Amino acid sequence: MTTGAILKAFRERNNLSQEDVASFLSVKREVLSYYENDSREAPLDVLEKLADLYGADLTDFFETEYNQVKANIAFAFRANGIEKSDLSEIAQFRKVVKNYFKILELERNNG
């Protein structure tokens, strides 16, 4: 899968519209569409914000193995039933959770 297709799949899995995500990123909907259609490459800061929003790792957006992509999307946190106005708070919370899991993994590897 392409990076754009993966970005679109994560967005759809979270039941978000392009307008919702574009607003969260402070870009026009068309710009997000370019990223999802691989017409433009998403900058790193955009990918980091999307990773936080979707509860994903940056590497998930560059996975080439289709089955692994499906698994990554399936296990990402979901935002069903959440108000679109809460996207910033959701992204911040997911970032904290990801960092917590990284700390646990470091402790496990060094312990």
CATH superfamily assigned to domain 3-63? lambda repressor-like DNA-binding domains (1.10.260.40)
Q: What is the pLDDT of residues 7-16, one digit of tens each?
A: 999 999 888 9
CA atoms of 36 and 30, how far apart (whole Å): 10
pLDDT-derived band of residue 100, with 50, 70 and 90 as boundaries? confident
| Contact (Cβ atoms closer than 8 angstroms) between residue 57 and residue 25 | no
pTM: 0.69
Task: Outline where 1-111 has alpha helix (H).
Answer: 3-13, 18-25, 29-36, 44-54, 66-75, 87-110
**How far lies 45's CA from each of 26, 41, 104, 108, in Å?**
12, 12, 25, 29
Q: What is the pLDDT of residues 45-67, one digit of tens each?
A: 999 999 989 888 898 899 887 77
Domain boundaries of the chain, sorted by first residue: 3-63
Average pLDDT along the chain: 85
Residue 85 exposed, middle or buried by CB count within 10 Å (0-12, 13-18, 19+): exposed
